[in-house]
Amino acid sequence: MLELVAPAGSVEAVIAAVQNGADTVYMAQGLTALGSRERAFDRDELARSIRYCRVRGCRAVASIPGLYTDEDMADALELALFAAREGADALIVRDLGLVSVLRRALPDMPLWGDVRLGVTSAEGAKAAAALGLRRVFLAPELTMEQIAAIAGSSPVPTAVYVHGPVCVAHSGQCYIGALAHAHRSDNCMRCDMPCRGRFSLGGRMDEHPLAMADVYLMEHLEALETMGVTGAVIEGRGRRPEYVAYTTRLYARAMREKLFPTDEEKHQLLYAFNAAGLSDGYYTGEAGPGMFAPAPAADRTPTRFYSELRKRYMSGELRRVPVKFYAVLRPGEPALFGVEDDRGHRAAVRGYEPIDLGRQGVTEARVREILYRTGGTPFNCVQVNCAIAPDLDYPDEAVESARRELLGQLADQTRTPHPAARGDLPPKPTDQGLSGPPKLILQVTRAEQLTAELAATAPDLLYVPAEILAAGSGALAHFLDRGTQIVAALPRVISEAESPVLRELLAALRARGVTQALVNDLGLLPAVRQAGMEARGDLGLNAANSWALQFLGGGGFRSVTVSCELTARQIGALVKPVDTEMVVYGRLPVMVTEHCVIRNSAGRCSCATPTSMSDAFGSVYPVEKEFGCRNTVYDARKTFLADHPETYTGVGLWGARLLFTTESPRECVQVTRRYKGESDYLPTNASRGAYQKGAL
């Protein structure tokens, strides 16, 4: 049976989830200290919430899903240790460095992969298992066929988001909050969701081309279970407890009783919780304009509806833990009562000796009737076994007292936290000790940017989209003549359905003599190796700390690009056990969308035509075609560090990358010469990106 996984952003939301039928509750643990925009549990609240769940047979999972710098890693580990000591059943994580640390510090704690790991293929699920994760939340952009293929072959259980808000960007691939809006990273749960605001794609500034309807898969729960999916996840850690109560109740009812919402109940989902709409477009493969709608303005709060929901979950107690009682009454012996639950907890109490009346006294039927009365507790009596000698007297009050004491003991046992968890932060890895200027790396996105003039700048490496390399370009010979290493830049996102196409592409590249590939997804590493190529890690791996660099280097990456959300100071302070590079120029990608927002807006595909998107502040974001008719949206401003070379030279970096997107061939040459110190060229609309203030 599917496990219903509900969110909670407060103690009241935990109560709402448990009392409405959640099997598991996941809680944002301690993230306030690390800058979350969502309200996190303080330690006392987390401890109480975990024990509340444990008594009621509900799994409690602490969520620590951000990216962490070297300075934050000790705090992140302490959060994990505290949750483990209090009895958390699992931890949700996504930072590769934190995963590596926790596997050593808490080897017995189950780790679940957060949705921001961006698992979109069976190989991605296998990579998650190789990390030591025991469950993985799949990316919400998958179709039913893709989910089935992954769930059917994944070595670890899989979970799918079945309800709640989702971002238009691919999971783990959104940086618009970090780069364009006050340096507030979605990767640390701090994004203010600027994508849900007004944008123009050439029309009026009243469009919301990136604002998506909520995921709604209630009618597909049975199919998901048949596929082998083990978890149905409701999103909404930042939403109010009434939302948690209502959605959990509807999904629990659909899963266990096959009763689906009425039109009125669907209306309440939209109206009471300010949703933009409900859609299963990703799942059915019918993604398109119908999945987009701005959230309606809340004209009033449905106070009465909220009050009714709150009264239900705050005043009642869902009897959800099955228990069995037994009672033994014999003459000349103290009465014996016992209880056990379905998790192996047991308790027993002794009473006084029953009195032999010499005539009919207490009956088995009466004892069973009293022990079945578990109302107002989390326990549901499913069986009573009695061994009662005839003609004995034993008062009802004494049986009731025994029942209360037994259930109290049982609750105390389940409240007891795990043995004290202890673990130290592993030492940082050994730095390679590189010094001097980093290698010059150029990355192009268009074939026309490959010119003899650019080759004359003699870059050490050249990253070129794999599709351009496969098609062939005579201009590449100029770079090869200069000794430049050609690297194939693989698509940022590859779905399960596209995996065969990727393998064919890699085989074609290898036949052309390409021996290295730039990779954004751990799930692509096996295909790259199988093609006989080496992998270099790109921005999409979100390497934010020294332990992540160590893990990726040990996992087979020849080099790793550090997160663009770190400050230059943080990057300089990183221990670099693997060749480490930094993007020091260009329009950084702020999101990768599964949708073609161009087609959604224009009604037709015009990806070959340069397109841009403007926000209400006048910023213009280039929108480029991505593999599979996806889009990459690039930052409105160009990151530019050539006027402060000390931020990236002499700090142990192996490579400095210049990323060319909308630049003309001439501008590519001008920028490269500036970084080589051969000109004083200054690009328009330049900024320091997040390297000055940071976003993590």
End-to-end CA distance of the chain: 38
- What pLDDT is attached to residue 289? 77
Instruction: Please name which of 147, 7, 31 lies closest in space to residue 136, comparing C-alpha atoms.
Output: 147
| Mean pLDDT confidence for 221-235 | 97
- What pLDDT is attached to residue 611? 83
- What pLDDT is attached to residue 605? 66
The DSSP bridge partners found for residue 328 are: 336, 387
Q: How many CB atoms lie within 10 A of CB 622?
A: 17
- What pLDDT is attached to residue 419? 67
Residue 204 — very low, low, confident or very high, per pLDDT cuts 50/70/90?
low
| Mean pLDDT confidence for 476-495 | 94
Residue 148 corresponds to which tokens in the numbers above?
A: 């089935």
Return the higher-pLDDT residue of 210 and 321.
321
- What pLDDT is attached to residue 421? 65
> Does the pLDDT at position 316 exceed 80?
yes
- Tell the CATH topology of 3-166+212-281: TIM Barrel (3.20.20)
Residue 92 — very low, low, confident or very high, per pLDDT cuts 50/70/90?
very high
Q: Are 92 and 120 in contact (CB under 8 A)?
A: no
363-419 per-position pLDDT tens digit: 999 999 999 999 999 999 999 999 999 989 999 999 999 999 999 999 998 877 766
> Does the pLDDT at position 37 exceed 60?
no
Question: For 559-568, 624-633, 642-651, which range has the lowest pLDDT when averaged over its residues?
Answer: 624-633
Instruction: Please name which of 545, 25, 682, 644 lies closest in space to residue 320, comparing C-alpha atoms.
Output: 25
Residue 657 corresponds to which tokens in the numbers above?
A: 């990358």
- What pLDDT is attached to residue 302? 86
Using DSSP's 3-state secondary structure scheme, residue 403 falls into helix
133-143 per-position pLDDT tens digit: 999 999 999 99
| Mean pLDDT confidence for 88-111 | 94
- Indicate the average pLDDT of the chain: 90
- What pLDDT is attached to residue 679? 94
> Does the pLDDT at position 472 exceed 90?
no
% of the chain residues with pLDDT over 90: 69
Residue 206 — very low, low, confident or very high, per pLDDT cuts 50/70/90?
low
Length of the chain: 696
- What pLDDT is attached to residue 297? 65
| Mean pLDDT confidence for 347-365 | 88
| Mean pLDDT confidence for 59-74 | 92
% of the chain residues with pLDDT over 70: 94
Residue 423 — very low, low, confident or very high, per pLDDT cuts 50/70/90?
confident
- What pLDDT is attached to residue 604? 64
- What pLDDT is attached to residue 13? 95
Residue 424 — very low, low, confident or very high, per pLDDT cuts 50/70/90?
confident
Instruction: Please name which of 233, 128, 238, 140 lies closest in space to residue 189, comparing C-alpha atoms.
Output: 238
Spatial separation of the C-alpha atoms in residues 506 and 502, rounded to whole Å:
6
Spatial separation of the C-alpha atoms in residues 672 and 220, rounded to whole Å:
52
Secondary structure E strands in 307-394? 321-329, 336-341, 346-350, 355-356, 379-388, 392-393
Spatial separation of the C-alpha atoms in residues 472 and 450, rounded to whole Å:
11
- What pLDDT is attached to residue 556? 93
| Mean pLDDT confidence for 503-519 | 95
Q: What is 439-588+638-687's CATH number, 3.30.450.20, 3.50.50.60, 3.40.50.720, 3.20.20.60?
A: 3.20.20.60
Question: For 156-160, 274-278, 530-534, 654-658, which range has the lowest pLDDT when averaged over its residues?
Answer: 274-278
Q: Where are the alpha helices (DSSP H) in 273-321?
A: 281-284, 303-315
Q: Are 454 and 672 in contact (CB under 8 A)?
A: yes
- What pLDDT is attached to residue 375? 92
> Does the pLDDT at position 573 exceed 90?
yes
Q: What is the DSSP letter of 523?
A: G
- The domain segmentation of the chain, as residue ranges, is 3-166+212-281, 175-211+589-634, 321-415, 439-588+638-687
Spatial separation of the C-alpha atoms in residues 255 and 454, rounded to whole Å:
60
- What pLDDT is attached to residue 630? 87
Topology match between the domains 3-166+212-281 and 439-588+638-687: yes
- What pLDDT is attached to residue 31? 43
> Does the pLDDT at position 295 exceed 80?
no
243-261 per-position pLDDT tens digit: 999 999 999 999 999 999 9
> Does the pLDDT at position 33 exceed 50?
no
